[in-house]
Amino acid sequence: MLSDTPWKGLGKSGVDSRRVDHAGKWNFFWAIMPGEDPALALVLHTPPVPALKLPKLRSLETGLASLTGGPAFYLRLKDHAQLELFETLCRDVVNCAEKATTEADALTRAIGRTCRWHHLLRGGRGNGLSEEEQKGLIGELTVLEWLASVIGPRATITGWTGPMGSPKDFEFYGHCIEVKARRTAAQPYVQISNEFQLADVVDHRLWLSVLAVDKVAEPFGNSLEFFVDCAASRFRSGDADLELLWETAISATGYRVEDDYSEARWVVGDPAWHDVRDGFPRVDLPLRAGVGSLKYAIALAACEPFKIDPIAAGKAISVGYVNG
């Protein structure tokens, strides 16, 4: 099975690893693991601190192991039928990590690249996000940056649950936030995608953040890459675990650095905050038996009585958090 692959000859006579590139900047090795599983290993001089929370991927295993050369991050293929694709993935991971300037950065890039591949292979598109998806993502990134300044980067990125399929865009201790991006000139409504987006969560205060995201012509505005880079700067502080959380989340949105978003340019307004409580214009749960997958619109004018000053909203959300 391993003939004509980088793993050919490994696992025999006690030889179970081979350096990917002797001229490479980082210590990547082709390796064979128990069960004759092919793997890619990045041998490190020191283990990551704090310990990384590695993603769980289908058909692949990620982990940290102690090898004779030192601690190592490994990527192991469990479905041998995907060997050819796995080799392509591994080479791309190595190429991406080679651009790093530090070992910690190389590790973060290797894990982040793996997550991007995982998103693509489980059904993510490779032709980029639609303009409607770009608008929605820019709205979430704008709120993400604001939250990072209020409750700190780690709490913020941990609570960004929308990319993972949660009904709410953000979920924190005691708070849930739904973000809606809309065109300034659009009808004064926001679209609610399902009956759970504005549903109460036990022991949580629910917020609706609405902001204008408008497409404009050059030289005005900025591309999606600009907004992603601005948000990324909040989480790239040398903390490998924090950077991994960011890479996992942004990959789950379908965003890829390889896609070209330069043609669409956007301007963003300040978010308006609403306290979703009794009397707020929304569909009440539970629905009648047999009714589901509900989509509806709410008038912004009807939300006005529930609007909260952003400073007051920030103070409320930040209770219990130490900023940083």
Q: Express the helix, strand and coil content of the chain in percent, nearest 5 each.
A: 35, 25, 45
Cβ atoms of 168 and 176 within 8 Å: the answer is yes
Q: What is the SS3 assignment for 225? A: helix
- Which pLDDT score, from 0 to 100, does residue 126 have? 53
d(CA 9, CA 56): 29
Q: Within 10 Å of residue 307's Cβ, how many Cβ atoms?
A: 15
Q: 178: which 2 tokens? A: 């739904």
Backbone angles phi, psi at 24, to 5 degrees: -70, 155
Q: 91: which 2 tokens? A: 């080479």
Average pLDDT per 10 consecutive residues for the chain, totaling 324 residues: 79 75 93 86 81 67 79 88 90 92 86 77 66 96 96 93 86 94 94 91 95 95 96 85 85 83 95 96 90 91 97 91 54
Cβ atoms of 37 and 82 within 8 Å: the answer is no
- Which pLDDT score, from 0 to 100, does residue 49 have? 61
Q: What is the SS3 assignment for 182? A: strand
What is the value of pTM for the model shown? 0.68
- Which pLDDT score, from 0 to 100, does residue 217 have? 93
